[in-house]
Structure 1
Amino acid sequence: MSTANTPQPQDISSCYNQVSSTYNDNKYTKAAHKLFWVVYEELTWKAVEKVLPPAGTSWRVLDAGGGGGKFSARFAEAGHNVTVLDISAGMLDSARAYLGSKGLLERCSFIEGTVADLPFKDSEFDLVFSEGDPVSYCLDQYPKAMSELVRVVKPGGPVIMGVDNRHEHFMFELKHGKKAEALKLLLTGRGKCPYGLPVHLFTIQELQDGVKAAGADLEEIFGKPVMYFEMLEAMQAERGPDFDVWAARDEIIAMQEKLAHEGYALQGQHFQVMARRKK
């Protein structure tokens, strides 16, 4: 396989080291865009909550590609012990600072590494979580990354992955007049992250096949958020020019939670994969 257009670990690490100090900030000023990421995080976490054990039971959780520690904090606040793995030392520093500000460091440990070659024993974790597209960064190595994430969870344990959706990236380029680029993206599955690094854009079939080959049972693939801006446009038309997106955020989150699990996965900016390692 040619590595000419393949991001090397040091490239990804360097990029995220540069943005680590502001990674957790919601940089958007427009309410609709700011709320988009609130919805994204809520859809992600609501699905996670459904597979967590009852309160009082502490699991060992791997947050693979844990970024700034936002989801690690949620796991730790729920009483779980979290290993935060990231390819970027800067991001791990950011996660330490964030978790420390919440008084959660006693429940967390930090390891520099990659999802395609995890430095853990087989069946070491009760739950494996990989959000923020680390599997997409693996490009043609994504089957190995999936297998690694499944390998380190206990038999029957949940494996949760967030990845990029090829269909929505294709539609985005098409809507913005980049038709030739859109076709290339559709045929190759290669796109770019917001920082300009190449990522693999997934089809549902690739996810189904990848999960099966990794030794897990697929429970659900859903989109997040789904038809978000289109939904807001429809709400604006119905309710008039005084419609306040931010004031309606609880309603919008509830609507998105409902739509996300009603078969609109292809209309989601990202896919969330819910799977379990075979027993």
Structure 2
Amino acid sequence: MSTIYELTGAGDRYFDGLVDKFSRSLYQAPRGELRLAMLDYLLPQMLRLDQQPVLDIGGGLGQQAAWFAERGHSVTMAEPSIDMLDYARQWHREAKGLPHEAIRYVNAPLQALIDEAPGPWPLITCHAVLEWLGDPRAAIAVLASLLAPGGQLSLMVFNRDALRFSNAVKGNLEKALNDRLEGMGKRQRLTPISPVTHAQIETWSAENRLAITEVAGIRVFQDYLRHPPTSDDERDTLLALERQYCRHDPHWRLGRYLLYTLTKPEAA
């Protein structure tokens, strides 16, 4: 019998009890490997990186926190799931060999960080978090309040338009037509409860005086392939294709994830 998971009072989905599912489905599978490879490729292009302190929100299993710590940043990793946080802490020490002082761990959701990690922060990463919140629009306001004037927010969201297109490609025509795309967040399936559109990110950013300075699509082609790559050469070719077109219109618009750099104006 499948385990039933409950949303929080705010309508958010946490991932206690799902460390193995995340590790296996998202990071030991081709789609997770490609996502990390594309972040490794894109973040140095899309961000000004000078070893500034980083707040990594919803850090999950700790991959992004480790990426920044290995590049000399002082990292604070916030994660509401204690299971995820404990896994990340152990992985950072044992597998990555990071010193204890490299990363500070905060067991808190995004909404609590105004008190738990107020900053202001010169650099915030919030990757694959908004789509698991009951109110992603309100989350943008919280992120803006945490960001220092002149600071950068690296925001990655699950793309609702890509989810619709993927359902149509798979033959789920009624689902795509009726726009019934959200997951319920009750079981182990990892269909987000609040996939968002580029238009929504544009609107919510403007509401909070955040400028979109960079945008890219992640997994622009992979999720639509009829025959996934089966050899290293084919995987290398797919990665090259993703890199070549991830920032080109119209291709980036159908990335399974959309990656943004948002900036806050300098103080007047």
Per the normalisation by structure 2, the TM-score is 0.83
Deviation at 1:89, TM superposition (A): 0.7
Deviation at 1:63, TM superposition (A): 0.7
Instruction: Please say if residues 116 and 138 of structure 1, whose CA atoms lie closer than 8 Å, have aligned partners that are also in contact.
Output: no
User: Aligned equivalents of 2:212 and 2:84: distance in 1?
Assistant: 30
| Structure 1 stretches lacking a partner, 5+ long | 1-5, 237-242
Q: Which moved more, 1:19-28 or 1:145-154?
A: 19-28
Instruction: Summarize the Cα distance change of 1:92–1:42 in structure 2 as closer, same or farther, 3 Å threshold.
Output: same
Aligned residue runs from structure 1 range 37-52, under 5 A: 37-50=32-45, 51-52=47-48
Give the one of 53, 61, 72 matched to 1:68.
61
The residue number in structure 2 matching 1:274 is 261
User: Aligned equivalents of 1:108 and 1:180: distance in 2?
Assistant: 46
Aligned residue runs from structure 1 range 188-203, under 5 A: 190-191=182-183, 195=189, 199-203=193-197
Q: Is 1:246 the equivalent of 2:232? A: yes
1:84 match: secondary structure? strand
User: Aligned equivalents of 1:203 and 1:28: distance in 2?
Assistant: 24
The residue number in structure 1 matching 2:7 is 7
The residue number in structure 2 matching 1:147 is 141
Instruction: Please say if residues 123 and 151 of structure 1, whose CA atoms lie closer than 8 Å, have aligned partners that are also in contact.
Output: no
Instruction: Please say if residues 169 and 224 of structure 2, whose CA atoms lie closer than 8 Å, have aligned partners that are also in contact.
Output: no
User: Aligned equivalents of 2:60 and 2:195: distance in 1?
Assistant: 20
Identity of aligned residues (%): 20
Aligned residue runs from structure 1 range 196-235, under 5 A: 199-230=193-224
Number of residue pairs the alignment of both structures matches: 253
Runs of 4+ residues deviating >6 angstroms = none
2:104 match: secondary structure? strand
Q: What is the CA deviation profile of residues 182-205 of structure 1, one whole-angstrom value per residue up to 9, with x for unaligned ones?
A: 23326xx63457635652121211
AA partner of residue 265 (structure 1): W
Deviation at 1:221, TM superposition (A): 2.6
Deviation at 1:276, TM superposition (A): 0.8
AA partner of residue 108 (structure 2): G
Instruction: Please say if residues 13 and 133 of structure 2, whose CA atoms lie closer than 8 Å, have aligned partners that are also in contact.
Output: no
| Structure 2 stretches lacking a partner, 5+ long | 1-5
Per the normalisation by structure 1, the TM-score is 0.80
Q: What is the CA deviation profile of residues 47-96 of structure 1, one whole-angstrom value per residue up to 9, with x for unaligned ones?
A: 22232434xxx311011000000111010000111111111111100110
User: Aligned equivalents of 1:36 and 1:192: distance in 2?
Assistant: 22
AA partner of residue 252 (structure 1): L
* RMSD over equivalenced CA pairs, Å: 2.8
The residue number in structure 2 matching 1:130 is 126
